Amino acid sequence: MILRLETKRRPLGFDMTPMIDVVFLLLIFFLFTSQLSQVMRSPIDLPEEPGDEAEVASPGTIVIDVTGDGSYLIEGQVRPMEDIIRLVTLEQQHAETTGQTIDLLIRADRKGPALHINTLANRLASVGVRQWKLGTTVPRSRTTGDGS
């Protein structure tokens, strides 16, 4: 007597669970690293002037913070002027090779003297950077809506 065992055939395909896990891990990684660049900015009392409505600088923007005592910070670390100029020059050369321009945002403490901003602007102009943005905050009278 011949016994025939019936085997169930599984449908052909593959398990998507590991791929979904990897996608979620990558998503979490990129969300964390993009937020980390915003956290690295040092708190500075910016001048109250109307300006662009854009609140966040684009990811490729070089942000230079100028404190009230004349220190220059990039990503929360104090840097000497020579390092800042070297970094901007390298970024400018890279941008020129790709046919782009660099975005430069200077965030200066409003209680600090303008001498520090002028010194930075003169040094940037000496290496060919003549266009940059100055970070400001919206005046308080515009945010309250009551005109005071």
Q: Quick one: which of 107, 104, 109 has its CA closest to 130? A: 104
CATH class for the region spanning 44-142: alpha beta
- What is the token pair recorded at 85? 């100029």
Q: How far apart are CA 86 and CA 120, in angstroms?
A: 13
pLDDT at 81: 93
Contacts (Cβ under 8 Å, ≥6 apart) of 121? 132
Cβ–Cβ contacts within 10 Å for residue 133, how many? Answer: 16
pTM, rounded to two decimals: 0.62
- What is the token pair recorded at 102? 């660099």
CB 46 within 8 A of CB 110: yes
Interval 58-101: pLDDT, tens: 656 888 999 989 899 988 889 999 999 999 999 888 888 888 88
Domain ranges across the chain = 44-142
Please, how many CA atoms are within 13 Å of residue 79, restricted to the half-sphere of its CB?
18
Beta bridge mates, 76: none
Interval 101-144: pLDDT, tens: 888 989 999 888 889 999 999 999 999 888 898 888 877 764 44
